[in-house]
Structure 1
Amino acid sequence: MARPTIKSISKRTGYSVGTVSNALRGAKSVKPETRDEIQRVAVELGYRVNLDALKLRTNKSYRIAVLVGVSTDAPDEWEGVEFTRILAGISSAITRTRYELSVFSVANSDDAMATLDRIVGGGLADGVIFTATLKNDPRIAYLQDKGFPFVSYGMSDSTRPHAFVDFDSQTAAFDATVRLIRLGHRRISLVNPPEDLIYADQRRQGYENALATARISTDPALIVSGPTTARTGKRAFQTLMQLDDKPSACICANEAMTLGVLSAAAETGVRVGPDFTVISTDDLQLSRYFVPPPTTYYVPIEETSRLLGEFMLKCLDGADPSETQKKIRATLIERQPDIPAPQQALTT
């Protein structure tokens, strides 16, 4: 079988040899949809470009960097399990392009900044994807100042627009709180991520807005923050049970925290359902196996992570930020019956 050439791709697609050549080298003069079609056909025919030569001509690395946070505080904890699925989604978005992923593990903010400096300064990638946006996030400010393409998994408080994909944390927390209020709960706790994260603030706002709408005052003692681990959830429940006026329900920021709450409740003889109601957000569908399985707000992580890759490609093509911003609303999954709040406060 003859080796595929630019001419054979031109014959298959109907585009001129010049258009095919420009599309295969990623020229911006070719419409994105045309470029995608030509590159797809090239892959189908088994066409292989001399990538080393292409890199020299275009001064590009054809790599997309993904920063992955690695916890050093609790290496034995369930934290960051979703990263494998995020990487899979990004990979699926770029699979028919020349781009490859480069994963960089970072332990903290200083480590992330040093890594970004190496990536940008050393030409190690053409764009960056990262998660867990912070208040006054230095990564965002740095990349914007450098004019370097990036997509964040999470909104930011930057005054300059940028590409992002986000789960609508504020709405999920609001809806979860309203759901519990309608069941008669008045002492509702929030087990939240670290307060320097943007989405922690969003969840708190949604929670407090729902309480205010129902004319219920916010009790700071019912809000417990910490790393998104099962250990945090367990400690949060233990702390909440020490209050004189105990909560009858809680909203957990993710499944790991929920698992910790369920474990602590079982150890202290509190029956989740009849005695205490738990709702989880940021669901990855693993909580269906918990005992008892909690009601959750499901996040389609495959969709969100695929969009990260798609938006990254658009950013590399020079797309306007308005074309690369998306908030995704969670889907309620009812795994527990709507049991009204207990009339008596917990005495554990």
Structure 2
Amino acid sequence: MLVRDSEPEERRAPRARISDVAQALGLTKATVSRALNGYTDISESTRARVRHKAAELGYTPLSHAQAIRTGRARSLGIVLQVGDQDGQRPFVADFLAGLSSAASAENWTLTVATATTEEDMLATMGRLIDERKADGFVLPRTKVADERIRMLRRLSIPFVLFGRTADPESCAYFDILGEDAMVLAVRHLHGLGHRRIGYIGGGDGFYYSAVRSAGYRTGIEAVGLPFDPAIVGGGAYTVDAGMREADRLLAADEPPTAILCATDMCALGVCRRAMALGLRVGGDLSVIGYDGVPEGAWSTPPLATFEVDSRVAGLHLANLLIRRIRGENPADLRETAHARFLDRGSAARPMMSSAELREHVARATGRRSERRPDR
């Protein structure tokens, strides 16, 4: 037997419409619509009034209707290259949290996809564009010559770089000034008393690697030290590669008493190799990295490094991309910041001279030193 409630079913209040917001403010529906979508031809004060009134009336646009009307999915896209050894593993969670948080604040969504190769990445981005699942893209880890930029330029799709590139035409970006960090690191090591400061660069072709290498050269010149290619390595962005390059630099006729690395993973490899040779990191050999990966805090001694706030970077990039999609000039959407130096135990005053270090490495590896220690 069916028993009906004694009280009549409460009727749902009618949904607020854009016309209700327009009528309450004495504006046209077109003006309200453009204000809610962030168009810059509507003044900021009017946009704020419209947002306030819409919230007061409980008006929210239907996403599918808005997509049809504006041609936008209100979605930011990012494709992560998961098969890349020099990938975003240490930072991806915080980075995506920042992107998502900033997108949500504007009632946008974040579409995340993965790819294993550069070709796969381009194909995935093309599919997201064709299926209208992203209005624009965040491009992390930019290259000096980047095929993603070429493709998006050709298709007139908005994008923002986490990094920079050789040709900044039509590029909005947010970047951390890695070159300034390298200058600071060289000055710091020089101030501790190091006069043989080596350097190991990052991944070939990436813009961050180019600018950090340039920063090292600038720092060396600034403190009056000669540039010596014998104590400069490159292409090392893993622990194994860092160990390999450390062997090469420490085998030099005048090995470095300090090694500056473009990435933390390389720096951790240098530390591992130094300890295997019986060297005390932060005493016999100083090491500084860049990135602020969690592993560095737990190494022995803790790794001196430059920390990047990935969540804040995500917030900046999402806001810049939304503004770019809304039509702002990319030349007006370029921001930079500095990494924070974590002065930890792996960088200290030298306890060995370069000559003493050479002799120690020669004994540890069974090689005969070709030179006598400096007197």
Q: TM-score if structure 1 supplies the norm length?
A: 0.86
1:304: which partner in 2? 313
1:280: which partner in 2? 289
Contact 1:253 1:280 in 2 (8 A): yes
Q: TM-score if structure 2 supplies the norm length?
A: 0.81
Bigger drift between 87-96 and 261-270 goes to 261-270
Bigger drift between 216-225 and 39-48 goes to 39-48
Contact 1:154 1:166 in 2 (8 A): yes
1:69: which partner in 2? 81
Contact 1:294 1:336 in 2 (8 A): yes
Give the one of 98, 104, 117 matched to 1:108: 117
In 2, Cα distance between equivalents of 1:66 and 1:263: 34
- 1:45-85 per-position Cα deviation (integer Å, ceiling 9, x unaligned): 7644322222222222222110212125x5xx985321221
* 1:283 match: secondary structure: coil
Matched, 1:88 2:97: yes
1:270: which partner in 2? 279
Per the TM alignment, residue 107 of structure 1 is displaced from its structure 2 partner at its CA by 2.5
Structure 1 unpaired stretches of 5+? none
Q: Kindly tell me: are residues 25 and 277 of structure 1, through their superposed partners in 2, closer, same or farther at Cα, counting changes over 3 Å?
A: closer
Bigger drift between 130-139 and 288-297 goes to 288-297
* 1:133 match: secondary structure: coil
1:206: which partner in 2? 215
2:17: which partner in 1? 6
Q: Kindly tell me: are residues 42 and 193 of structure 1, through their superposed partners in 2, closer, same or farther at Cα, counting changes over 3 Å?
A: farther
Per the TM alignment, residue 136 of structure 1 is displaced from its structure 2 partner at its CA by 2.0
Bigger drift between 135-144 and 21-30 goes to 21-30
2:129: which partner in 1? 120
2:8: which partner in 1? none
1:329: which partner in 2? 338
| Equivalent residue runs for 1:89-238 within 5 Å | 89-226=98-235, 228-238=237-247
2:71: which partner in 1? 59
Per the TM alignment, residue 196 of structure 1 is displaced from its structure 2 partner at its CA by 0.6
In 2, Cα distance between equivalents of 1:309 and 1:149: 12
- What one-letter code is carried by the residue in structure 1 that aligns with 2:277? T
In 1, Cα distance between equivalents of 2:52 and 2:232: 51
- 1:172-224 per-position Cα deviation (integer Å, ceiling 9, x unaligned): 11111122122222222222211211111111111112212333232223222
- What one-letter code is carried by the residue in structure 1 that aligns with 2:314? S
Per the TM alignment, residue 151 of structure 1 is displaced from its structure 2 partner at its CA by 0.3
Per the TM alignment, residue 130 of structure 1 is displaced from its structure 2 partner at its CA by 1.1
In 2, Cα distance between equivalents of 1:159 and 1:336: 38
- 1:3-47 per-position Cα deviation (integer Å, ceiling 9, x unaligned): 551379739995747344444466665446654674577568764
In 1, Cα distance between equivalents of 2:197 and 2:139: 32
Contact 1:150 1:312 in 2 (8 A): yes
Aligned length, in residue pairs: 345
Bigger drift between 335-344 and 162-171 goes to 335-344
* 1:157 match: secondary structure: coil
Q: CA RMSD in A?
A: 3.0
Q: Kindly tell me: are residues 27 and 153 of structure 1, through their superposed partners in 2, closer, same or farther at Cα, counting changes over 3 Å?
A: closer
Q: Kindly tell me: are residues 229 and 311 of structure 1, through their superposed partners in 2, closer, same or farther at Cα, counting changes over 3 Å?
A: same
Identity of aligned residues (%): 27
In 2, Cα distance between equivalents of 1:163 and 1:218: 34
Contact 1:63 1:101 in 2 (8 A): yes
Give the one of 257, 267, 273 matched to 2:266: 257
Per the TM alignment, residue 334 of structure 1 is displaced from its structure 2 partner at its CA by 1.9
Structure 2 unpaired stretches of 5+? 1-11, 362-375
Q: Kindly tell me: are residues 22 and 206 of structure 1, through their superposed partners in 2, closer, same or farther at Cα, counting changes over 3 Å?
A: closer
Contact 1:304 1:328 in 2 (8 A): no
Per the TM alignment, residue 135 of structure 1 is displaced from its structure 2 partner at its CA by 1.4
Q: Kindly tell me: are residues 331 and 13 of structure 1, through their superposed partners in 2, closer, same or farther at Cα, counting changes over 3 Å?
A: farther
Give the one of 299, 313, 333 matched to 2:322: 313
Contact 1:90 1:308 in 2 (8 A): yes
Q: Kindly tell me: are residues 184 and 91 of structure 1, through their superposed partners in 2, closer, same or farther at Cα, counting changes over 3 Å?
A: same
Bigger drift between 49-58 and 124-133 goes to 49-58
In 2, Cα distance between equivalents of 1:286 and 1:323: 37
- What one-letter code is carried by the residue in structure 2 that aligns with 1:137? D
Bigger drift between 202-211 and 281-290 goes to 281-290
In 2, Cα distance between equivalents of 1:12 and 1:334: 59
In 2, Cα distance between equivalents of 1:36 and 1:246: 61
